[in-house]
Every structure is written in structure tokens, then in C-alpha cells.
Structure 1
């Protein structure tokens, strides 16, 4: 029966005593324990061992955008000085501030001057106007750092005409040419052939330049039509 050892439940009479090792039950085999070797860093004699460094994550700070909060200073753009030449004349009860097409004073046989004489004659005014002062040429020929931009030109032209208006009565101020309209009337070419009311200068009439009227004769019809509506201003006291 392949029985290696047998132990009776009770002690048998006259039987030999049992061996003690047979009474001990074998313990179940224990699970193997796996141990990892500990590696120690070699430390030089007399030098304390360094503690391992532990990296602690730090919060990442976001860059501060200052461009949105800080106002950008406006860049001042200095405009170049305008260039023009104007002549002031008197014809009856009207003052005429006219652009000089060539920049030089009118000559008796200049086509632009002959056209101006025709316009004055058609308006019932003397066709030989009186020249008042020297032509106003801009920019001014001065030394030093003098502002000669558009605003300075406007103040100068208006001051010049205002001083002449104090010397004699003026029923209407003719502004012939874009520089005269712009720097005395404070407006632009859209005001051609219209009546203006300018502070300090009174009633004014804006007209295209003489050279423009010669280059585009079809503009003369609008000038004659506007003239008929304004003639009463300078003729009412002459009748």
C-alpha cells in the first residue's frame, strides 16, 4: 500500500514508543522574498554625504503684456508749408484776392489779367483795379525756426486782408483761386461759385482760379450765373 509511516489514534499496549519527529507536521513552504540591492554612493573620507536633490515644480509666471495698458503717444506729423502767391486789389466797392498763376505780379498783357478785367467789367465794376500792397508769397522768406504750415498761412492771409478791410468799405470780397479760397475762406474747391460768410472778413465770393477758367472754359457759365445773383451787393448804393 506504499505507507511510509503510520500513527495509531491510541497508544497500543506493549508497542514501542513513537519517534517524536514523526509527530511534527511539515509547514507549508514560504513564498520567496525578493530583495533589491541598495547602492550607496561612494563618499570621500572626511566629506559629508550630499542629500539627494528633490525637484519641486514651480508655477510658471505668464508674461505681463504692457502694450495694451500703456497708451501709445500720438505722433505729430508736421505738414510741409504750402506754396502760393496772392495779390490783393480793389475794384470799386469790392476787394479781390486773386491767385497769381505764375507767382509773379500781373502784367498788363497777361492772359490771366485780361480775363480778370473782363470779369470785373461784366460785374459792373472798374476794369482797372487798384493794386494794394505787395503780393503775399508763401512760405515767407524768414530765417530761424518759424512755423509756416497751413494753419500759420491761414492766420497770415486772414490778418492781411482784415487789416485792408479796416481802411475802406467792402461790399464783397472776391476769392479767386484755390489758395485764396482755402487760406482766406477756410474751405476748398467745393465752395466755388458760392457765397461765404467769413468771421472777420464778412461776405465773400469763392471763384475758380483764372488759369483754371482758361483751361476749362465751360466753368465760365457757372461764374456768370453766380455773378448775376451777387451783383446787387456791390451795385445797390451806386444807383
Structure 2
């Protein structure tokens, strides 16, 4: 039990006498007076040499914005604008193919209906054929080509489709019986068979797959503007030898 000295509270009978040095109480040790601890000194900050001040340029508002009190304009990033291409409506026309001698005629039908014997436009066409030295009773080939083909549906009936259809129709007739010159009478015939426009009236053109073609104003336009007939007659005189030689 780690007991070094043990002293009984009362004298034990028949016990050996205690040693006197054990009965002496030790004197208390002197306690030194409390010395106040020195106050903690504040840490001494090292002296740092002040750095040079850096000049920072602050943008100043313009004079106009200062006077008017306008707020700075924030940079705005425009979102990409998506443009929608409007579908091109299908062209509308009616064409009739005829044969007069060695020439084929693709004629715009002014009313959209087939020619009648007493139609003014048909009578004018007969006069033009007589002046050209061709039979004045042309043979009608097939039904009129009317565009668009379908009133409804998803088939492409735009200008390019119309051109391909008209040129394919004429090419099939040329395989049956070739011609020396193809007359294109009227703007729809010139545009969708000759791939030209009104500026090509009274001119001879070369069209791939169709050969030599002659662009002419429409019969309705010639009746409304008779002065155009002179230009048609001059162009006809330059081309007349082409089909006259083939008829001999």
C-alpha cells in the first residue's frame, strides 16, 4: 500500500516505544510572496517602408452624360436573328403546243382555255404564220400544259419544277418529230422553256435540249400594244430562211 510511516492514535499495549524522531512534525515550508508577473508587452510591429502609391486611372463620364444625367450604356449582345424564308408560290400559266410545218410553237393561252376558231388571239396567230410562210392551220399537240398541276399536295410546284416539267414535255415531242425552230410566244413560255425573260423578246436563243428557240411577246400583249408587231416582223425576216429552206 506504499505506507512509509504509520502512527497509532492511542498507545498500544505491549507495543514497543515509538521513536521520538517520528513524532516530530515537520515545519511548514516558507511560502514566497506572490510576485506580480510582468505585463505582457504588446508585440512590436516591424516598421515597413510605405510603398509608393499606384496611380489608377478611373474612367470619367463624358461631359454630355454628366450634364444630362444619362446612365452608362451597357454592352448588349444581340441574339442571332433567325430569318424565315417565305415559300415561293407556284407560278400560274397555261401553254399550248402546236406544230406548223417544221416549226413547233409553244403559245401562252391568254384566257387559260384552249384556242377557239374565232378567238382574236388565234386569228392573230394565223396571220403571223402566213407572214412567216408557214401553214396557217397549226396542228394542236396534246392537251394544254396548265400549272400548277395539283391544287393541293406536298409536291414541289415552284418555278424550277415548272421549268423542268415544261422542258421535259417539249423534249418528248421533239423526239417524236424534230423541228428547225421552236417559237416561244408569251412570257411564261419564254421563262419556263427558254430560261429567259421579257428582255429576250424577238431574239433567237440556244437552249440545251431544245435547240434553237425564238422568244416572242404574248398574243394578248401584241393586241394591246400593236407597235410591237414591227419588232416581231423584223426578227421574223432574219429567221425566215431557217424554216423556208427546210420546207423546199
Q: What TM-score, normalized by structure 1, do the two folds share?
A: 0.70
Q: How does 1:36-185 map to 2 (within 5 A)?
A: 65=77, 67=79, 75-141=84-150, 143-185=152-194
> 1:74 & 1:65 partners in 2: Cα distance?
18
Please list every run of 5 or more consecutive structure 2 residues that lacks an aligned counterpart in the other structure: 1-73
> 1:185 & 1:201 partners in 2: Cα distance?
9
Counterparts in 2 of 1:74 and 1:166: CA distance versus 1, 3 Å: farther
Contact 2:149 2:157 in 1 (8 A): yes
**Tell me, what secondary structure is at the counterpart of 1:236?**
helix
Map Cα deviations across residues 83-123 of structure 1 (whole Å, 9 max, x no partner): 11000000000000000000000000000000000001110
Match of 1:204 among 210, 213, 220: 213
Contact 2:102 2:247 in 1 (8 A): no
Contact 2:108 2:186 in 1 (8 A): yes
Q: How much does 1:238 deviate?
A: 2.3
Hey, what does 1:232 align to over in structure 2? 241
Q: How much does 1:151 deviate?
A: 1.1
Q: How much does 1:144 deviate?
A: 2.2
**Tell me, what secondary structure is at the counterpart of 2:153?**
coil
Contact 2:101 2:247 in 1 (8 A): no
Deviation larger for 100-109 or 146-155: 146-155
Please list every run of 5 or more consecutive structure 1 residues that lacks an aligned counterpart in the other structure: 1-61
Give the number of the structure whose alpha-carbon radius of gyration is greater. 2
> 1:94 & 1:108 partners in 2: Cα distance?
21
Give every structure 1 segment of 4 or more consecutive aligned residues whose post-TM-superposition deviation is greater than 4 Å.
none
Q: How much does 1:182 deviate?
A: 0.6
Q: How much does 1:64 deviate?
A: 7.7
Counterparts in 2 of 1:110 and 1:64: CA distance versus 1, 3 Å: closer
Q: How does 1:181-196 map to 2 (within 5 A)?
A: 181-196=190-205
> 1:147 & 1:81 partners in 2: Cα distance?
8
Map Cα deviations across residues 197-228 of structure 1 (whole Å, 9 max, x no partner): 00111000000000100011000000000000
Q: How much does 1:73 deviate?
A: 5.2
**Tell me, what secondary structure is at the counterpart of 2:143?**
strand
Q: What TM-score, normalized by structure 2, do the two folds share?
A: 0.67
> 1:168 & 1:190 partners in 2: Cα distance?
30
**Tell me, what secondary structure is at the counterpart of 1:144?**
coil
The total of aligned residue pairs comes to 175
